[in-house]
Each structure stands twice: as C-alpha cells, then as structure tokens.
Amino acid sequence: MDASIPARHRDLHHAPEQALALALARLQDSGERLTEPRRAVLEVLARHHEHLTADEVSVILATRGIHRATVYRTFEVLARRAIIAQRRQPGGAVAYHLVTTPSGHEHLHGVCRYCGEVTVLPADTFTASSRAIASASGFKLEPEQSAFVGLCTACQTII
C-alpha cells in the first residue's frame, strides 16, 4: 500500500472542525437549505470518523429533539448530493460517513468481520477486476460504495 495513505480509517480524514466546514460548504453549494437537523447530522458525522448507522446517529441526536425519520431524510439528501457515502456493514446494516477525505486519498474499506475495525485499502486495489467485470458483463462496479470483509491483523491472530 502507498505509504502516504494511512492504514487506519480514522487517520485518513480531516479534523472534525475542518470536515464539518467542508460538508456545510458542499451542502450550501449544492443549493440545499442548511437546516438545524442537517447541521446536527453533519456535526455528528464530523466528530465520528467511524461509519455510523442511522440508529446510532438518532440516539446521539435524541436529546436535541431530532427524530429517526428526520435523520433518514437527512441522509437521503446528503447521499444524493455526495456529501456522505454509505456502505453495508457485516450483518446488513447501512452505515454512513462524510466524504471529505483530502484530495488524492480516495480509498476502499476493509472491514473486519470479527471486531468491525475499518482498514483503508488503496483505491486501485480493485481497478483491474472492475475493468474485467465491466468488459465481460457491462456492469460497472462502484467499489468505493462497498466494503471488503475479512479479518484485521489483530483478529487473524486470535481466530
């Protein structure tokens, strides 16, 4: 893996304040309104570099009077505007995170099926396979929207 790409997912992203500022700017630039629930959801995602489910975000925001249905609607808007990305976790839940990685650090996710640790994989890891699949079937993969499931280094030693 390219030494300039951190191996741990949480080390890849901007500081929370910078990530929030970028996300808010992208939302406003997209022409969407900046509502209090949208700001609150973005604040939560900026503070948590791990991928969060709608239920996890709803629990965090419950004290602010923001309901789960509002979180889901907000996720729909943010995903449509490519401000957040989603991926299916082992077990089927959908988790979300901000798309604010520094330029040049596009990446894939390797998710440990045992502990849930997210490891950064270089974006070009799947390039040749994606091309072969598209050539053979006409189906264009979007691996950045996917997670590769396996075992992290620590869990390989205990399983």
Per-residue pLDDT of the chain (159 residues; tens, 9 = 90+): 444 444 555 555 568 888 899 999 999 999 999 999 999 999 999 998 778 999 999 999 999 999 999 999 999 999 999 899 887 776 778 889 888 655 544 567 788 888 888 887 877 777 888 889 999 999 987 766 667 889 999 999 998
Domain's final residue, options 49, 80, 98: 98
Annotated binding site: 112, 115, 152, 155
Q: How far apart are CA 13 and CA 6, in angstroms?
A: 10
3-class DSSP state for residue 86? strand
Indicate the DSSP class of residue 13.
Answer: S
* Residues spanned by the domain of 68: 11-98
Same structural domain for residues 22 and 76? yes
Same structural domain for residues 89 and 112? no
In a domain, 3, yes or no: no
Annotated binding site for Zn(2+): 112, 115, 152, 155
Same structural domain for residues 125 and 87? no
Burial class (CB within 10 angstroms; exposed 0-12, middle 13-18, buried 19+) of 111 = buried
CATH at 118? 3.30.1490.190
Same structural domain for residues 87 and 130? no
pLDDT, position 122: 76
What's the pTM value of the predicted model, to 2 decimals?
0.68
Closest to 38 (Cα-Cα) out of 71, 84, 14: 71
Same structural domain for residues 18 and 91? yes
pLDDT, position 16: 83
Same structural domain for residues 92 and 125? no
